[in-house]
Amino acid sequence: MRKFFTSLFAFVISGLAGGLAAQWLAIATGAEEEYILVFMVSVLVTLIVTFVFFVAQFMADPVAAVARAGKWLLIMLVVLLALLVALILYADSSSAVVKKDIPIVAGLGLPGLVTIVIHWLFVRWRVGRGSIKAQVGA
């Protein structure tokens, strides 16, 4: 039950943090309808990250599994963003179109980064506390 509530609270906290980062970017860049995609992707990233960290808590060494999951999620986010930037640069060679797409790419990257880091910090803290209690009780 502890693992379920850890994932639930991490989902709420990291989703809120990612949503706030997306909202801040939308206000800072003066975005309009295109940021609907950013908010939808932010929710999708939060769901995927929650599932990955939930499964990681059931591994034999949950502290190491959570660390590996966080590292690989960050690597996958950076690779996907690099592929998106490469696609934008390859498809549109004019600098005006590329400048127009920069807020969307930042909006897809920063909230995802914030979501992963906040989720990882919370789950790592809760898993670490659980393993200390298990060692003391054993």
How much is the average pLDDT of 43-54? 95
Q: Tell me, what amino acid is at 70?
A: G
Within 10 Å of residue 61's Cβ, how many Cβ atoms?
12
| pLDDT score of 11 | 95
Cβ–Cβ < 8 Å for 35, 106: no
% of the chain at pLDDT higher than 70? 88
